[in-house]
Chains A and B, each alone.
Chain A
Amino acid sequence: MIRSLLVRNIWDENQVLRQILGICSLLAVTNLVRNSLVMGLGLIFAVGLSSLTISYLRNYIPHRIRMIVQTLIIAAWVILFDLIIKAHLPEISRALGPYVGLIITNCIIMGRAEAFAQKNPPLASLLDGIFAGLGYMLVLVIIAVIRETMGFGTILGFNVNFLGLETWTIMVMPPAAFFLIGVLIWIVNIIMARQAAAGGGERG
């Protein structure tokens, strides 16, 4: 079960590449690898625990107001995360600034709540949330490595521009993430189409 959840969330149904969710935060934070990592970790924390809580409560939540309830739970966990890093990791909290609060509006969390946690047992929901966050973080880091290398000539702040090439300001700006994510989705689509053609849908 764990393996299939992992494969599904990271590859088959990757939240960013296949479901096209979480794009807004991707555009915003991926110009630096460090911000992408912390954003990814914050999302993993928030989506995992929100899914867990929602799954525990799933049989008690009135159907009509389930989305409000989901939002309330998500917001509570994100505020908690914000408080914890403000108190224990003030430097990182300062670097992230307003991004942490924005995790609340990340569509992936509500997507997992609606699509999975609402119908599945707690442990599976927790893992589903964590893996979905992992799939998101992976894409973020891939885009961030490309953008930071080309835009600043650095990775995680370390200089990698050994040839002294001119850096591209466009890579630092949000539109670059649009181009890159488009190309990445394109590549993944080609690979998936080939897999499906060759294996006849081996993963079902």
Chain B
Amino acid sequence: MNDSYGYTIVFMLVLSAVFTTVLAVTQGAYLPVISENERNVERKAILKVLNIEPGPSASSVFEERVVPAAVGDWDAYLAYDDGGHPLGYAFPLNGQGLWGSIRGFIGISPGFDRLLGLEFVEQNETPGLGGRIDEAWFKNQFQGLELRAGEDIAYGSGLDAITGATSSSQAVLSLLNAAIAELLPLKEVVGS
């Protein structure tokens, strides 16, 4: 075994170059697939918060039913039903959870008076505890909640936090309330 400095440095450089190349090439090859997967996760979340069944091909349903719509400063999405009537808006939901960032979407009715749904695209809460914010029973509780200006949503009757995951439950709620507080005044913008 050769232990000279020259050999050590050359060995490390060659090895790093080989592995970096392999990883870079693999990542480059997979990049389109991975970003398409990520876009699909977002499309599915947007369809779900608007209560549209994504079906086997979320991207084609998405193309058919949803259009991007700027509401105030928000990059929102607007969905229509078969008759061309608006079903609702999907707004991005971003912020801090207990352990990391939470990204998702909320659906709001065309009249900005009801919550249509809540979905997460990314969350890093403890699996089995805070991670349960991504379970259907928890998210479904938010469907159909009435929105009133100046009135925060709170846990209590009809809306349960997760046992053993109080902080994550609260984090979701404060994200939601912050977004709604900003969104409700935009009702006028949409109406016009």
A residues sitting closer than 8 Å to B (CB atoms) are 29, 31-32, 35, 57, 59-65, 68-69, 72-73, 76, 79-80, 83-84, 86-87, 90, 94-95, 97-98, 151-152, 169, 172-173
Report yes or no: B30 in contact with A61, Cβ–Cβ below 8 A.
no
Q: In the complex, are the beta carbons of A62 and B3 less than 8 A apart?
A: yes
Main secondary structure on B side of the interface with A? helix
A29 CB contacts on chain B under 8 angstroms: 127
Q: A62-B8, A68-B12 are in contact. List 16 more A-B contacts (CB 8 A).
A: A57-B15, A61-B1, A62-B7, A63-B1, A64-B3, A72-B16, A73-B15, A80-B22, A83-B34, A87-B37, A90-B37, A151-B128, A152-B128, A172-B128, A172-B164, A173-B164
- The secondary structure that dominates the A interface is helix
Q: Which residues of A lie under 8 Å from residue B164 when comparing CB positions?
A: 169, 172-173
How far is B41's CA from A107's CA once the two chains are assembled, in angstroms? Answer: 33
Which are the 5 A-B pairs with shortest beta-carbon distances?
Answer: A31-B128, A90-B37, A76-B19, A87-B30, A62-B8
B31-61 interface bits toward A, Cβ cutoff 8 Å, 1 = contact, 0 = none: 0011001101100000000000000000000
A83 and B30 form a contact (CB under 8 A): yes
B192 proximal to A (CB < 8 A): no
Residues of B within 8 A of A83 (CB): 23, 26-27, 30, 34
- Please name all residues of chain B whose beta carbon is closer than 8 Å to the beta carbon of A72 when the two chains form the complex: 15-16, 19
A-contacting residues, B1-17, CB 8 Å = 1-3, 7-8, 11-12, 15-16
- B96 contacts across to A, CB distance below 8 A: none
Cβ-defined partner of B22 (8 Å) among A35, A62, A76: A76
Chain B, Cβ-Cβ closest to A29: B127
* Cβ-defined contact, A65 with B23, below 8 A: no
Interface size on B, residues (CB 8 A): 27
* A87 vs B36: C-alpha distance when bound (angstroms): 9
What's the minimum C-beta distance from B56 to chain A, rounded to whole angstroms? 14
Q: Which residues of B come within 8 Å of A, CB atoms?
A: 1-3, 7-8, 11-12, 15-16, 19, 22-23, 26-27, 30, 33-34, 37-38, 40-41, 124, 127-129, 163-164
**Cα of A169 to Cα of B165 in the assembled complex, Å:** 10
Could you tell me if B11 and A172 are in contact, using CB atoms closer than 8 angstroms? no
- The distance in angstroms between the C-alpha atoms of A151 and B15, with both chains bound, is 46
| Nearest CB of chain A from residue B150's CB, rounded to whole Å | 35
What B residues does A64 contact at CB under 8 A? 3, 8
Bound form: Cα–Cα A137–B8 in Å: 36
Q: Count chain B CB atoms within 10 A of each CB in A57, A69, A87 and give the residue with the most.
A: A87
Note all chain A residues with C-beta closer than 8 A to B129.
Answer: 31, 172-173
Report A155 CB to chain B, min CB distance, Å: 13
Instruction: Assess whether B2 is in contact with A62, with CB atoms less than 8 Å apart.
Output: yes
Whether A65 touches B12, Cβ cut-off 8 Å, given contacts A87-B30, A90-B37, A169-B164, is yes
- B26 x A80 contact (CB < 8 A): yes
